[in-house]
Amino acid sequence: MIQFSKSVNSLRTSEIRDLMGLATRPDIISFAGGMPGNELFPVEDIDEIYNSLPLDSKQTAFQYGPTPGYPPLLESLKEYLQKKGMAVKKNKLMITTGSLQAINILAKVFIDPEDVVVTENPCFIGGISAFKSYQAILHGIDLDENGINLELLKNFLRQSKSTPPKFIYLTPNFHNPAGTLYTEERKKDLVPVLQEHELLLVEDDAYGELYFDDEARKRVVPLKTLYENDLSICYTSTFSKILGPGFRLGWMLVPPEIYQKAELCKQSMDACSPNFTQVLANEFLRSGKMELYIQKMRLIYKRRKDTMAGAIRKYFPEEITWMEPKGGFYIWLKLPPKLDIMAVLKSSIEKGAVFVIGKTFDPEGKDNSHFRLAYSHTPEGKIEKGIQILGDCLKEELRLSK
């Protein structure tokens, strides 16, 4: 008999997978994937960059590279992070294969079976799976509109003094799936709580660049830049949302002693991240094209968000409540009691639109009182039609639930 490891057996299977299989019809309008639209990628710029590379750089691109990253990219990225106020000299930077690998490596570095990890509830599904794959016990703390609920966090930390959590994993900027942007005050109030309990913070900043206005821009400042001296912070981010997930490039900026262990882990995982895309990403950053591209993306995602928000107001029953995001990719919506979201998903897939149910993002895999819509992947022209389909399905299910 095949005997799988306990860690693999602890991974959750998803009952919506079969349904999602049906959602690959070419005509379906998808609000499911948390990814950029294909038509937005800077294909011509990258063509031009590759074609004008000298032969030895092209050869380097095909080769293995150093485990921590392609040195010129590490330098360009350090400059980029330093401009944002990151302490790049005090910390060490490592390029990873997507930021999911950075999160996975940090999980491997810290988690022994049965260790407790605190997350937000809801939480990015990739984080949940990574922590579970090392057999962590997850404790999700509810988010409110300003960030993680501090009273709940304090209570939990007080109760768990005998078995303190290994770390807390937070996404303060344009949370996936909740869209939340932490307020300055919430960040400030969080620090003494983490300090008191000497709790290490894994700060995931996958979406911080994608703010929609000036007020949001001022608020996306990472905790890593604000509270570096007060807290042990492992910061992760990615090129996936600002260049393309196909590059499979992310990074971590962490204290040196953590970096040493992380490098050992990465050596045994993939030896190095793709040199090919690191060479291209480096040229894109160096040429100044990255900043211009991100500026363009901010406008496009804002327009998509505005279109979706307008359509939700027009077509959704008013019992569905939600907050308008100030950046990022997602709108997170709360259902009235008793409404069966699985039934809505089924009928909306039949009629031509798909989204993700809330349970996917619950660390305990139970709470289905919300659902997530991503506007990032869908051109404006299709957003209104998809939301109208969903609105009809929601109204019908609401009628049945009364």
Ligand X SMILES: Cc1ncc(COP(=O)(O)O)c(C=O)c1O
Q: Which residues bind ligand X (CB under 6 A)?
A: 34, 98-100, 124, 126, 171, 176, 204, 206, 238, 240, 245, 250
What is the smallest separation between the CB atom of 72 and ligand X, expressed in angstroms? 20
Q: How far is the CB of 169 from ligand X (least distance, A)?
A: 10
Query: Vertex 343, ends 341 and 346: CA angle to 5°?
Result: 110
Give the contacts of 196 (CB within 8 A, at least 6 positions apart).
157
Distances, alpha carbon 378 to alpha carbons 68, 308, 383, in Å: 35, 10, 6
* Nearer Cβ to ligand X (121/240): 240
Q: How far apart are CA 252 and CA 359, in angstroms?
A: 28
Considering the complex, what minimum distance in angstroms separates the CB of residue 34 from ligand X? 4
CB of 105 to ligand X, least distance (A): 12
Please state whether beta strands 147-148 and 233-238 pair in parallel, antiparallel, or not at all (unpaired): unpaired
Question: How many C-beta atoms surround the C-beta of residue 400 within 10 A?
Answer: 11
Q: Output the residue with the shortest Cβ distance to ligand X.
A: 98
Which residues are CB-neighbours of 352 under 8 A, at least 6 positions away?
25, 27, 28, 29, 386, 389
Widest distance between CA atoms in the chain: 68
State in angstroms the smallest separation of the CB of 109 from ligand X: 17
Q: 312-330 in b/e burial notation, b at 16+ Cβ within 10 A?
A: beebbeeebebeebbbbbb
C-beta of 233 vs 389, nearer to ligand X: 233
Shorter beta-carbon distance to ligand X: residue 100 or 168: 100
Give 124 or 235: the residue with its C-beta nearer to ligand X: 124
Distance CA 24, CA 110 (A): 38
Other CB atoms closer than 10 Å to residue 21's CB: what's the count? Answer: 9
In the complex, what is the shortest distance from the CB of residue 269 to ligand X, in angstroms, rounded to a whole number? 13
Quick one: 95 or 206, whose CB is closer to ligand X?
206
Of 205 and 397, the one with the shorter C-beta distance to ligand X is: 205
DSSP state of 327: B
Count Cβ atoms below 10 Å from residue 350 Cβ, excluding itself.
11
Which residue, 229, 232, 227, 207, is CA-closest to 217?
207
Residue 398 CB, nearest approach to ligand X (Å): 29
Tokens of residue 39, six digits? 């038509």
Nearer to ligand X, 110 or 174 (CB): 174
- Kindly state the smallest distance separating residue 395's Cβ from ligand X, in Å: 30
> What phi and psi, each to the nearest 5 degrees, are found at residue 314?
-80, -40
Q: Residue 45 or 204: which CB sits closer to ligand X?
A: 204
User: Cα–Cα distance between 297 and 141 in angstroms, integer?
Assistant: 32
